[in-house]
């Protein structure tokens, strides 16, 4: 008989029983208790945890909505209205889900701004960045699919416009479009597959998030100075320090999102989506959700359909290459006096693209979109690789403790 080698590590015998069979408790202790967080990590480092919580809330609220929603062109709109009017607290679950999507993007954009500004995408965290961009891409697809489900006017026409883009691809475009739609036009087959994919993709995202977070923990988190942790003096334990900080950040965020859900639940919604889908009536302006608007602006900035599609997909693809485009050894923009302002301008540029993406593509708006697109690609393809060649960076501190005190 095999000798019992069970170690009594914990006071609680149940925990010992689990730990011996699956050392998950020591794993959690190591990764979320003792995990050394750079002691200068600011509130920007709370957004990752916040995103994880939002993702879980989105999955749960989505499952509840799916229990009452009917993915059929004759019933989707009505079933959504039924959720709002007849299902107990259906309105709350729906507003949590729809506003949750908007806040998910607000937080993910802040998380990305942090990663770009402080150079968190650089060596040795490139894979972590690649997982992040993949998550972002899947989030956009999931959000677009979700937008089509209530089968309002914007749902129908956004689905029509976006799937039509594929027909711009030479030779195979039309076939790809029909394959995506499951029909020759947006219809019941389309709604069904969009629902199935909208249900499953968040679980794929969850899986990638697990890899993303595991990858962060391999080399530890970056910090505002971009200088790597050198001694234990540079860090504090995740528990309780970071957990308290994250809890405070999430509480403030919770108050803001609750205020929106209860007092302005349609602030970020499109009014036209409260009109049932009608293939015979095209809305005056077909607009995507605000968080996809920068890419919509890029798409429409080019007079040629194929050119617009290539630029739009290119603007997302280029993100994957950022760790190899920006070759500066200095991570944090705080020590890069020139590139810092170019990066801040890039954030403003993306914001402006989002604004014009929600406006008609004419006159000044079109001009702004074109200038915006030029700067977008200039930033990634010219400034990121070339600025390090001539930029005179500021003196980096030797260690985190050097700037933030040894205690």
- Which residues of the shown chain bind ligand HEM in the complex (CB under 6 A)? 45, 47-49, 51-52, 55, 108, 111-112, 115, 120-121, 125, 128-129, 132-133, 135-136, 205, 209, 212-213, 216, 221-222
Q: Which is nearer to ligand HEM, 12 or 247 (CB)?
A: 247
Query: CB of residue 364 vs ligand HEM: minimum separation in angstroms?
Result: 31
Q: Which is nearer to ligand HEM, 41 or 154 (CB)?
A: 41
Which residues lie across from 276 on neighbouring strands? 152
Q: Which is nearer to ligand HEM, 209 or 309 (CB)?
A: 209
**Coil/strand/helix, residue 343:** helix
Q: Which is nearer to ligand HEM, 31 or 272 (CB)?
A: 31
The count of other CB atoms within 10 Å of the CB of residue 292 is 21
Residue recorded with tokens 């959720």: 83
Query: CB of residue 55 vs ligand HEM: minimum separation in angstroms?
Result: 5
* Burial of 321 (C-beta count, 10 Å sphere; 0-12/13-18/19+): middle
Using an 8 Å Cβ cutoff, are 237 and 36 in contact? yes
Nearest Cα to Cα of residue 380 among 342, 351, 334, 329: 342
Find all residues with CB under 8 Å of 162, minimum gap 6, and list them: 144, 288
Q: Helix count (H) and strand count (E) of the chain?
A: 17, 2
Q: Which is nearer to ligand HEM, 84 or 206 (CB)?
A: 206
Residue recorded with tokens 């320090």: 241
**Coil/strand/helix, residue 125:** coil
What gap in Å lies between CA 69 and CA 151, rounded to an integer? Answer: 11
Q: Which is nearer to ligand HEM, 216 or 301 (CB)?
A: 216
Query: CB of residue 46 vs ligand HEM: minimum separation in angstroms?
Result: 7
Query: CB of residue 340 vs ligand HEM: minimum separation in angstroms?
Result: 17
Query: CB of residue 342 vs ligand HEM: minimum separation in angstroms?
Result: 19
């Amino acid at each position: 008989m095999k000798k019992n080698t069970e170690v009594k590590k914990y006071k609680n015998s149940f925990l010992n029983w689990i730990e011996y069979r699956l050392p998950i408790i020591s794993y959690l202790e190591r990764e979320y208790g003792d995990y050394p967080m750079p002691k200068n990590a600011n509130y920007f480092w709370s957004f990752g945890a916040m995103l994880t919580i939002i993702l879980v809330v989105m999955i749960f609220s989505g499952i509840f909505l799916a229990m009452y929603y009917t993915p059929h062109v004759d019933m989707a709109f009505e079933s959504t209205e039924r959720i709002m009017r007849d299902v107990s607290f259906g309105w709350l679950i729906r507003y949590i889900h729809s506003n949750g999507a908007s806040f998910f993007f607000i937080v993910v954009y802040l998380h990305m701004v942090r990663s770009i500004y402080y150079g968190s995408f650089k060596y040795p965290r490139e894979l972590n960045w690649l997982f992040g961009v993949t998550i972002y891409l899947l989030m956009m697809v999931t959000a677009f699919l979700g937008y089509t489900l209530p089968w309002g006017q914007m749902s129908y026409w956004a689905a029509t416009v976006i799937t039509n883009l594929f027909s711009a691809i030479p030779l195979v475009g039309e076939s790809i479009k029909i394959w995506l739609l499951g029909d020759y036009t947006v219809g019941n087959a389309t709604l069904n597959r969009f629902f199935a994919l909208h249900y499953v993709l968040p679980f794929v995202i969850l899986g990638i998030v697990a890899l993303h977070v595991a990858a962060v923990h391999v080399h530890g988190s970056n910090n505002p100075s971009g200088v790597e942790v050198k001694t234990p003096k540079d860090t504090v334990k995740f528990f309780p320090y970071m957990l308290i900080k994250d809890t405070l950040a999430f509480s403030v965020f919770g108050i803001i999102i609750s205020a929106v859900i209860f007092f302005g639940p349609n602030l970020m919604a499109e009014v036209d989506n409260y009109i049932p889908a009608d293939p015979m009536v095209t809305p005056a302006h077909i607009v995507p959700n605000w968080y996809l608007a920068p890419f919509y602006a890029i798409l429409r900035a080019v007079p040629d359909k194929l050119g617009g599609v290539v630029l739009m997909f290119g603007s997302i693809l280029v993100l994957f290459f950022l760790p190899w485009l920006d070759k500066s050894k200095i991570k944090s923009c705080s020590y890069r006096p020139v590139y810092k302002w170019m990066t801040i301008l890039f954030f403003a540029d993306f914001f402006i693209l989002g604004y014009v993406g929600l406006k008609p593509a004419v006159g000044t708006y079109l001009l702004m979109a074109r200038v915006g697109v030029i700067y977008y690609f200039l930033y990634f393809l010219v400034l990121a690789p070339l600025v390090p060649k001539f930029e005179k960076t500021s003196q980096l501190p030797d260690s985190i403790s050097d700037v933030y005190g040894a205690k």
